[in-house]
Structure 1
Amino acid sequence: MKKALKALVALTLLGASSALMASDLETDMDTIASNYKTVLKTDSVETLKLSLENMRAAAVSAEKGTPSKLKGKAHDSAEMKDFRQGMTTLIGQIDQSLALANQGKLEEARKVAQEFKQTRDTNHKKFR
């Protein structure tokens, strides 16, 4: 009886941690989306930089997650590598935009940020 209870607790914890990981990825994606809206609308270099930094942190965190569409895939599967590559591409674009923002080039930074949309759309088709 004691072993069965331990097994039940272990399965419950495992299920809860999987649910938390999924919600963390969803939270990261929501953070990216809400900050992206700010990036496209702000006239403040400081707000732009803060939003890009928030996006970058969320993208780095999301890169460690697994989209629900890929649940059960091996960490080194082609699909997971493709997902991580998409996040790496986004992080690189964010870094380019942030570098321009750090130079005070608001419009140029926003222009680079426009490219995020294509990256998002391409990867949402595959993994959402």
Structure 2
Amino acid sequence: MRKQLIVLATVALLGASSMVMAEDLSVDMDTIAENYGKALKADNAADFTAALAQMKSAAEDAKKDTPTKLDGKAPNSPEIKDYQHGLDTLIGQIDKAAELAKAGKLDQAKTEAQSFKATRDENHKKFR
């Protein structure tokens, strides 16, 4: 009886920890979406790059988690690597847009930021 309780408690804790991880990923994705909107509405380079910095930080944190759809996949599986590659693509796009903004090319930076949407759509189809 005692062993069964220990096993049940362990399973419950593991289930709870995976829910917390999924919630963390959800928070990261919400942060990315919120700051994407802020970046596109920014009327100066400082606000634009601040929003991008928040997006980049959330994207880097999201790489540490796994979408629910990929639960049970090995960390080196092709699916996990593809998920992380999608976030790396977004991070690269964020860096490129930030460089343009820092160079005083806010309009071009916002145009570059429009490409984030295609990256999001492509990866949401796969992993959401």
TM-score (norm 2): 0.92
Matches within 5 A, 1:33-44: 33-44=33-44
**What is the letter of the counterpart of residue 109 of structure 2?**
A
SS, match of residue 116 in structure 2: helix
Unmatched 5+ stretches in structure 1:
none
State the partner residue of 2:112.
112
Cα displacement (A) at 1:5:
3.7
- Give the paired residue count: 128
Q: CA offset at residue 17 of structure 1?
A: 1.0
**Deviation of 1:55 (Å):** 0.2
Name the structure 1 match of 2:11.
11
Q: CA deviation at 1:2?
A: 4.4
Cα deviation for residue 100 of structure 1 reads 1.6
Cα distance in 2 for residues equivalent to 1:8 and 1:114: 48
For normalisation by structure 1, the TM-score amounts to 0.92
Structure 1 residue 105, shift from structure 2 partner: 2.1
Q: Distance in 1 between matches of 2:4 and 2:104?
A: 62
| Matches of 1:47 and 1:3, distance apart in 2 | 56
Distance 1:101 1:8 in 2: 54
Paired residue type of 1:33 = A
Is structure 2 residue 39 aligned with structure 1 residue 28? no
RMSD value, Cα:
1.4
State the match for 1:92 in structure 2: 92
State the percentage of identical aligned residues.
Answer: 54
Instruction: Give the aligned residue type for 1:35.
Output: N
